């Protein structure tokens, strides 16, 4: 009994001291470009149409993206994590044998004025199915100073008119 209580206490301690990402699915918190997002229940539903003619001047072919850059204090300390996991259902009109999405993590080192970031391609996903995604955080240099995360696609890899729709839920940090 004592062993199980110790395990439960350790799990509770990690839950309370690790970043709580449960509110990260609120669409109004995300910064969007060439994409839309809405909250449905406990999930964030994102639509990224591939439009090679409507890109911004610096990204002529397009660069649909969304980032959560307004982390609350309780969401910023990822120092006890070795990975972030989430469920992602992809509904894509093209071939999914490529890296359909890239995941980003941003952090701001103490005393720095500018953030740093790392991009990690998410391997091919099964279309029209819920995929359990686990992204290792080994390339993030300061897990105690995470300032945001997000997704993008590179439209140059896809045909004009294809469409990415994905639903993401259950953001969780995986303990070291």
Residue 96: domain span: 2-175
Across residues 10-18, what is the average pLDDT? Answer: 36
Identify the band that residue 6 occupies on the pLDDT scale cut at 50, 70 and 90.
Answer: very low
pLDDT reported for residue 155 = 72
Residue 88 main-chain phi, psi, to 5 deg:
-140, 120
- Are 168 and 37 in contact by the 8 Å Cβ rule? The answer is no
Per-residue pLDDT at 164 exceeds 60: yes
pLDDT (tens digit per residue) in 75-103? 989 999 999 999 999 998 877 666 678 99
At 52, the pLDDT band (50, 70, 90 cuts) reads: confident
Sheet of 65-68: strand order equals 31-33, 65-68, 146-152, 101-107, 116-122
Closest by Cα among 123, 133, 155, 115 to 33: 155
Residue 116 three-state SS: strand
Q: Residue 16: what pLDDT? A: 32
Indicate if the pLDDT at residue 111 is higher than 50: yes
The CA distance from 117 to 100, in Å, is 19
- Going by C-alpha positions, the residue among 80, 68, 53, 90 that lies closest to residue 23 is 68
Higher pLDDT, 160 or 166: 166
Any idea what the Cα angle at residue 121 is, between residues 115 and 126, rounded to 5°? 140
**How many domains does the chain contain in total?**
1
pTM, two decimal places: 0.82
Distance CA(126)–CA(60), nearest Å, equals 29
Supply the pLDDT for residue 99.
62
Count how many Cα atoms sit within 13 Å of the Cα of residue 153 in the half-sphere of its side chain.
31
CB 106 within 8 A of CB 137: no
Q: Which two tokens stand for residue 22?
A: 């449960």
Report the percentage of the chain scoring pLDDT > 70. Answer: 84
CATH code of the domain in which 146 resides = 2.60.120.260
Neighbours of 74 (CB within 10 A): 14
What value does the mean pLDDT of the chain take? 83
Tens-place pLDDT, residues 118-158? 999 988 788 899 999 999 999 999 999 999 999 998 777 78
pLDDT value for 8: 33
């Amino acid at each position: 009994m004592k062993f199980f209580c110790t395990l439960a206490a350790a799990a509770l301690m990690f839950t309370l001291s690790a970043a709580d990402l449960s509110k990260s699915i609120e669409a109004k918190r995300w910064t969007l470009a060439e994409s839309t997002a809405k909250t449905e229940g406990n999930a964030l539903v994102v639509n990224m149409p591939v439009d090679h003619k409507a890109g911004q001047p610096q990204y002529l072919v397009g660069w649909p993206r969304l980032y959560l850059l307004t982390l609350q204090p309780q969401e910023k300390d990822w120092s006890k994590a070795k990975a972030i996991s989430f469920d992602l259902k992809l509904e894509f009109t093209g071939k999914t044998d490529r890296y359909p999405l890239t995941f980003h993590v941003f952090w701001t080192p103490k005393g720095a004025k500018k953030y740093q970031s790392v991009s990690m391609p998410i391997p091919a996903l099964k279309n029209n199915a819920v995929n359990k995604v686990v992204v290792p955080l080994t390339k993030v240099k300061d897990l105690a100073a995470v300032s945001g995360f997000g997704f993008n696609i590179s439209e140059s890899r896809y045909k004009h008119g294809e469409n990415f729709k994905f639903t993401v839920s259950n953001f969780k940090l995986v303990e070291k």
